[in-house]
Amino acid sequence: MIRVLVCDDHLIVRQGIRQILADAADIEVAAEAATGPEALAHVRAGGIDVVLLDIAMPQRDGLDILRQLKSEAPKLPVLMLSTYPDRQYAVRSLKLGAAGYLNKSADAEQMVDAIRRVARGGLFITPSVAELLAGALGAQGTVDDKPLEEQLSHREYQVFRLLAAGRSVGEIAEQLVLAPNTVSTYRARILEKTGVRNDVELALLAVRQALL
């Protein structure tokens, strides 16, 4: 069971999300928070697997809370929610460590899929957000544009594509019939060879090479 903390200052929004998630047999709303401090208190109390965090929170905004959450619980996946256009906050959220960014206009199926994906250790990045990442990070010069076939072995290339698609290490291990430690080793080699720093930049590289 995936235990979710829903953080939004509007009761009607929290109730709507609770209703959506009630139809998913493997997900439950474990707690709700109307303010940033309440969200931090619930996380510190434990028992949370995924945080759904609104950008526009009272007292402390969502990005500020995200920074603190990643400092205190770096492995806890945080899925950011927003009513604002993706271009305003998506890239900033991902750079700060969010596992995904979801606009509140998304349908129920997409929200459930996003929660499941980040709970498994993957990333949730929509095509529109991937384009924003390409535009925002592409000029930094951290990624080598040589064809990946020239940089990576066949197995590393397989692992790369699955990581860029948001799959977790465990899922990749199962799909490729490898030990999770082996997949982690491949991931480390991929980061070193391509010069990227994290899974978000791996996704960026995949966008630039038209693999997503």
pLDDT tens per residue, range 43-83? 999 999 999 999 888 777 888 899 999 999 999 999 999 88
For residues 90 and 184, membership in a common domain is answered with no
pLDDT for 204: 77
Average pLDDT, integer, range 194-201: 81
Neighbours of 47 (CB within 10 A): 10
Asked whether residue 140 carries a pLDDT value surpassing 70, the answer given is: no
Amino acid 30 reads: A
Question: Does any domain span residue 176?
Answer: yes
Contact (CB, 8 A) for 101 and 82: yes
Task: State how far the Cα of 63 lies from the Cα of 73, in Å rounded to an integer.
Answer: 15
Instruction: Name the pLDDT band for 95 (thresholds 50, 70, 90).
Output: confident
Question: Does any domain span residue 131?
Answer: no
For residues 114 and 147, membership in a common domain is answered with no
Contact (CB, 8 A) for 139 and 200: no
Task: State how far the Cα of 18 lies from the Cα of 144, in Å rounded to an integer.
Answer: 43
For residues 80 and 157, membership in a common domain is answered with no
Q: Using one digit for the tens of pLDDT, what is the confidence trace for 97-108?
A: 899 999 888 899
Q: Give every CB contact of residue 200 below 8 A, 6+ residues apart in sequence.
A: 94, 95, 123, 125, 133
